[in-house]
Amino acid sequence: MRNILILTVLAALAFTSNAQIQEEKPFIEITGTSEIKISPNQIFIHINIKENIDRSKKSIDEREQDLIKALQSSGISPSKLVVKDANSYYGKTGLIGREVISSRQYELEVKDAPQAKKAFEQLDKLNIKNANIVRVDHSEMEDYKRQAKIKAIKAAKVKANYLLEAVGEDLGGALIVRENSVNVMGNNYRRNARELYAYGRFESGGAAEVDLDFKKITITASIYTKWRIGK
């Protein structure tokens, strides 16, 4: 029993010693970062319409058809207009009247600023004021995120290499590669909705044109890496 105990202790010490030797091998830790800027090709507009309660008394379905026709006339496919919500409420009509009024919320996708301007011009003609650009995106966003990660890893390797060259060492293989974060910034919008309204109203009146370019979406990536020192 005593001999077995001694062998067990020796084996444990050998294992611990071996682990320490492996851990003591030189390494370098580097965090690589990258940034990619892209122009959006998806612009999302939230639109809220309700039944007219004036003399025209247009139903919600009639107003929806007017909207679809107006968008089509501007080269925007009806398939880009999606109903997000619908409800009814008991509202006041006239001085003393009250009746059920229906409303619907839509999301309209357009591809660029000129098309967004055309959409807001049509909304203005239809007297639809409750509309906002809520976000922008890109149809190939996942691919751009992947590119940002690859760029960050490459940046980490380049940095590790020149730091080791400065002290006369060679860069070995990667021991650990771990994604820290991937962030997308600049894809939320609200300010441009009013600008596009203004452009639609005042274009024919000779007012100064507003800047219709959307800010680029920024994708950042951070990757942690650990490299062996020496070939």
- pLDDT tens for each residue of 58-69: 788 889 999 999
Query: Over 70: is that where the pLDDT of 181 sits?
Result: yes
pLDDT confidence band for 32 (50 / 70 / 90): very high
Judged on CB neighbours under 10 Å (0-12, 13-18, 19+), 159 is middle
Order of strands, sheet of 217-229, starting from the edge strand that comes earlier in the sequence: 27-38, 217-229, 171-185
Give the Cα separation of 139 and 23 in Å (integer). 45
Identify each DSSP E strand in the chain by its residue range: 27-38, 42-50, 81-93, 97-110, 131-137, 171-185, 217-229
Query: Over 70: is that where the pLDDT of 197 sits?
Result: no
Pair of tokens at residue 221: 């990536």
Q: 78: closest CA among 64, 63, 60?
A: 64
Helices 191-202 and 113-125 pack at an angle, to 10 degrees, of 70
Q: What percent of the chain has pLDDT over 70?
A: 71
- pLDDT tens for each residue of 75-89: 999 999 999 887 766
CA distance readout (Å), 111 to 22, 79, 108, 139, 208: 55, 13, 10, 10, 24
Lowest mean pLDDT among 52-56, 116-120, 170-174, 218-222: 52-56
Query: Over 90: is that where the pLDDT of 50 sits?
Result: no
For the chain, which domains are there? Answer: 26-40+138-231 (3.30.110.170), 42-136 (3.30.70.120)
Q: What average pLDDT score do residues 125-138 get?
A: 90
Say what the pLDDT of residue 97 is.
Answer: 56
Q: Are 17 and 9 in contact (CB under 8 A)?
A: no
What burial letters (b/e) apply to 21-31, b meaning 16+ CB within 10 Å?
eeeeeeebebe
Tell the residue number behind the tokens 């890893």, with chain if given: 153
Collapsing DSSP to helix, strand or coil, 5 comes out as: helix
User: What's 196's DSSP letter?
Assistant: H
Say what the pLDDT of residue 1 is.
Answer: 52
pTM over 0.75: no
